[in-house]
Amino acid sequence: MQTKRSRVVLVAVAAFAVIVAGCGALGGGGSDAAATATTAEGMGGMTALEEAAKAEGKLNVIALPRDWANYGEILDAFSAKYGITIDEQQPDANSQQEIDAANSTKGTDRAPDVFDLGANVALANTTLFAPYQVGAWADIPDNLKEASGLWYSDYAGFMSIGCDAAKVALPATVADLLKPEYKGMIALNGDPTKAAAGFHGVVMAALANGGSADDITAGIDFFKQLNDAGNLLPVDPTPATIASGQTPCVIDWEYNNAAQANDTNAAAGIDWQIAIPTDAPPVASYYIQAINKDAPNPAAARLWEEFLYSADGQNGWLRGFARPILQEKLVADGTIDTEALGKLAEASAAPVVLTQDQLTAGQDLLTGNWTITIE
């Protein structure tokens, strides 16, 4: 409980600092150039940006669990490289809570400087973001960034199938899941009308069965077949259901599945293997980076983004089983962490990423059909 107490003290100190700052020099000086800079050049180059960020000496991040996509290592590496203290706020908050926190702490030096958001939440809140284009801007695909730099995708999960190979062979395709040997074995992570993972599982099934990102009817039909065959389990998979053997096969994001191939499970005789089905292009969902336009540390915020889109930051995510957006560039440059890359499943084609309209259309379809599909 030592840490909890020190956190309480920290909060109290921070609250006091906010009050003092509110009475005195709010916003400080010297960061005005950083607050409006849309590129590192706008600050006078990377060296100037570094200087300004070090002068600020602080960075507020929010909702970055240290065991999520390897953020612990990334945060420590940034802090060590630039000597900037990172305040990790509400590590377990969700995307909407990040936005709520930015609104409620607006104007204080506790406000988050940068966001890591789910795509739909990011798209609904672009007015809170400051445009900024990182050095590797040109290498981020156009459909995965906002043209002026308000937001840009950072890392993706691919939809995958994880199976305990000690119990049943790893399927190569979505169609394989209909085979009788998978009877009572397949679990989908979350109700697709609620959870993004479950939803993209249905999209993956649609793409494998002649459907498209625009019309996922084929995916719903596939799950109906799967359910009728008795292969689909009405159980929500968690690390506990995997460890206890209740859910021998799980359709989930690759980073969730990859995390199950761990030593504890191996010691328990669970040989967790992961496949990205070959009968559909990989279905991906990217998280999104953005800078708070009211960031109390605007230069550090921009330096943080530059760091994330450097080989160090990108490889950091890769080691957390997330697929960094600059993966191809890193492969071409020869700077990729080949060992970490080797741990990810093979994915042949370019990933399919749903637009907001496609998400809404798919959701409308599921709301009307999912409950009767799995009856």
Pairwise CA distance, residues 258 & 236, whole Å: 18
Q: Other C-beta atoms within 10 Å of 167: how many?
A: 14
Check binding of 355 to another protein (CB under 8 A). Answer: no
Helix-then-strand count for the chain, H and E:
16, 11
Residue range at the interface with another protein (CB under 8 A); choices 49-57, 139-147, 242-250, 292-300: 242-250
- Strands (DSSP E) found in 93-198: 114-117, 129-130, 152-164, 186-188
Cβ of residue 85: shortest distance to another protein, in angstroms? 32
Residue range at the interface with another protein (CB under 8 A); choices 32-40, 210-218, 233-241, 331-339: 233-241
Check binding of 372 to another protein (CB under 8 A). Answer: yes
Check binding of 368 to another protein (CB under 8 A). Answer: yes
Query: Are the CB atoms for 155 and 323 separated by under 8 Å?
Result: yes
Cβ of residue 298: shortest distance to another protein, in angstroms? 28
Q: Which of residues 165-204 bind another protein (CB under 8 A)?
A: 183-184, 188, 190-196, 199
List C-alpha distances in Å: 48 to 51, 56, 61, 241: 5, 12, 22, 51
Pairwise CA distance, residues 135 & 43, whole Å: 13
Pairwise CA distance, residues 227 & 183, whole Å: 9
Cβ of residue 4: shortest distance to another protein, in angstroms? 26
Cβ of residue 32: shortest distance to another protein, in angstroms? 34
Residue number with CB closer to another protein (86 or 196): 196
Cβ of residue 181: shortest distance to another protein, in angstroms? 13
Check binding of 338 to another protein (CB under 8 A). Answer: no
Among 36, 90, 120, 212, the residue binding another protein under the rule CB under 8 A is 120
Pairwise CA distance, residues 40 & 46, whole Å: 6
DSSP conformation class of 42: G
- Residue 207 has phi, psi (to 5 degrees) of -65, -30
Binding footprint of another protein, residue count (CB under 8 A): 39
3-state secondary structure of 17: helix
Residue number with CB closer to another protein (251 or 326): 251
Cβ of residue 237: shortest distance to another protein, in angstroms? 9
- Residues interacting with another protein, by CB under 8 A? 94-96, 118, 120-121, 124, 183-184, 188, 190-196, 199, 230, 232-236, 244-246, 359-360, 363, 367-375
